[in-house]
Amino acid sequence: MATTEQPAPANTASRILDIAERLVQTRGFNGFSYADIAGELGITKASLHYHYPGKAELGESLIVRYAARFAEALRRIDDTIPGARDKLDAYVGLLCLCGILAAEYQTLPDAMRAAVIRFFDDNEAWLTNVLIAGAQDGTLRSHRPAADGAKMLLSGLEGAMLVARPYDDLQRFQSAADGLIASL
């Protein structure tokens, strides 16, 4: 029996990214296929290829979009939250897609690898600035250079997120995050 495909709305590319983001967060990048997305949207795989020729292009677009939204969230934190410690608390509230992708780093296409690295570099730079500001105003203390503290904090938070994931336990992550920030 033949099926008739409904015309896709103009925001199909965005809807594809929305579904891909959710699938990456729940299954990982290698845990879903174009068929999964097409089935959810009720379109053909060929329609997906129109927007994203391959899964690598889809993945790179996903990271670029996510990084832009994350950067905007960091700008909002900078614009609305005055204290360094409070900025770090707000940062912890941002869930990180790229942490999930980092776990699959060795299997990702090169363009996605580069995008993941850029995302982490940008986060380390932001955290370094927050740690410097906190040291200058006396709200944070560290016995290491701010850049090293930023690497430690980012690595600890991403690791805590990955460990909490199989337990499906946000409190496990929050407890680790609270401990990391309290150590500053």
Instruction: Pull the structure tokens for residue 133.
Output: 């500001």
Measure the CA–CA gap between 37 and 15, rounded to whole angstroms: 9
Looking at the domain assignment, is residue 4 inside a domain?
no
Q: Is residue 6 part of a domain?
A: no
Domain count, the chain: 1
Is 36 a member of any domain?
yes
Rounded Cα distance, 63 and 43, in Å = 23
The answer to whether residue 34 is domain-embedded is yes
Closest CA to 86 of 160, 155, 172, 181: 181
Of residues 114, 99, 108, 101, the one with CA closest to residue 158: 99
Residue-wise pLDDT tens for the chain (184 aa)? Answer: 333 344 444 599 999 999 999 999 889 999 999 999 999 999 999 999 999 999 999 999 999 999 999 999 999 999 999 999 999 999 998 877 888 899 999 999 999 999 999 999 999 999 999 999 999 999 999 889 999 999 999 999 999 999 998 898 989 999 999 999 999 9
Domain hosting 29: range is 12-182
pTM of the full structure: 0.88
Q: What is the CATH number of the domain that holds 153?
A: 1.10.357.10
